[in-house]
Amino acid sequence: MSKEIKFTDDTMALVQRMIKRYPEGKQKSALIPVLHLAQMEFDGWLDAPVMDYVALILNIKPIEVYEVASFYSMFNLKPVGKCLIEVCRTGPCWLLGAEDLVRHIEKKLNIKDGETTPDGMFTLKTVECLAACGTAPVIQVGETYHENMSTESVDTMLNDYKSSGERKTHFDKKHIKTQL
């Protein structure tokens, strides 16, 4: 990673706020929220030096960070595209056509599940039930839920993200200021 690994002042202030939510000496409890912030700040994934940095901030061992980062499905341990397209593949979404959506996206972007487009714009990932089965099939991009999806609405969605070109992460940067 070329740039220096350091949270911006605002993010660091939020990290400090999060640590205070737990009793003295239990700052490790902030690990998962802080890893979300790290993904937001450092290109949507957790490189080893980023995890070491988080360990330093929370005053825990790097292994304690690695074992958590590798357990939870939302933490990316490999680089991802600017937009992570997460398609729900579980029963209720499958009943209403999730497979067709995955196949459609794979064809359209010419990548397979888990891969990133050569321009670095999109990564496709299949995920488990997103707690929105009543509006299946569902796709999550960053913080946004796209519900009742069809191949047509997928096309529109992909075009919109492509033309905006913005990075979409799970924890949207716009919330940092409001939560300080």
Partner 1 sequence: MGKQLLLENINVQGISTLEVYRANGGYKALEKALKMQQSEVVDEVKKSGLRGRGGAGFPTGMKWGFIAKPEGVPRHLVCNADESEPGTFKDRFLMQNKPHMLIEGMILSSYALGANVSYIYIRGELLYVYHILEKAIQEAYDAGLLGKNILGSGFDLELYVQCGAGAYICGEETALIESLEGKRGNPRIKPPFPAVSGVWGRPTVVNNVETIAATVPIILMGGDEYAKIGIGKSTGTKLISACGHLAKPGVYEIEMGLSTEEFIYSENYCGGIKNGKKLKAVVAGGSSVPILPAELFLKTAKGEPRLMSYESLADGGFATGTMLGSGGFIVLDETASIVKNLWNFTRFYHHESCGQCSPCREGTGWMEKVLHRILEGHGKQSDVDLLFDIQSKIDGKTICPLGEAASWPVASAIRHFRAEFEEYVNHPEKIKDVKHYYNMRNLQPTA
Task: State the angle between helix axes of 31-41 and 62-69 in degrees (0 to 180), rounded to the nearest 10.
Answer: 80
Which region, judged by CB under 6 A, interacts with ligand FES, from 73-81, 91-99, 116-124, 158-166?
91-99
Locus of tokens 């802080």 = 34
Q: Mask: binding to partner 1, 113-152, rule CB under 8 A, as x and -?
A: xx-----------xxxxxxxxxxx---x--xxx-------
Stretch that binds ligand FES, among 31-39, 104-112, 124-132, 168-176 (CB under 6 A): 124-132
Locate 73 and state its tokens: 């499905």
Q: Which does 157 bind (CB under 5 to 8 A by kind): ligand FES, partner 1, none?
A: none
Judged by CB under 8 A, the residue of 92, 117, 151, 162 near partner 1 is 92
Q: Does 72 bind partner 1 (CB under 8 A)?
A: yes
Residue 91 Cβ vs ligand FES, minimum distance, rounded to whole Å: 6
Sign of CA dihedral 160, 161, 165, 171: positive
| Cβ count within 10 A of residue 114 | 11
Q: Would you tell me how many other CB atoms lie within 10 Å of the CB of residue 165?
A: 9
Q: Output the six-digit token pair for 116.
A: 């990133």
**To 5 degrees, how large is the angle CA 22–CA 25–CA 31?**
60
**Candidates 4-12, 77-85, 101-109, 149-157 — which segment interacts with partner 1 by CB under 8 A?**
101-109
Q: Judged by CB under 6 A, how many residues of this single chain contact ligand FES? A: 11
Classify 165 as helix, strand or coil: coil
> Which residues contribute to the site for ligand FES (CB under 6 A)?
88, 90-93, 129-130, 132-133, 136, 138
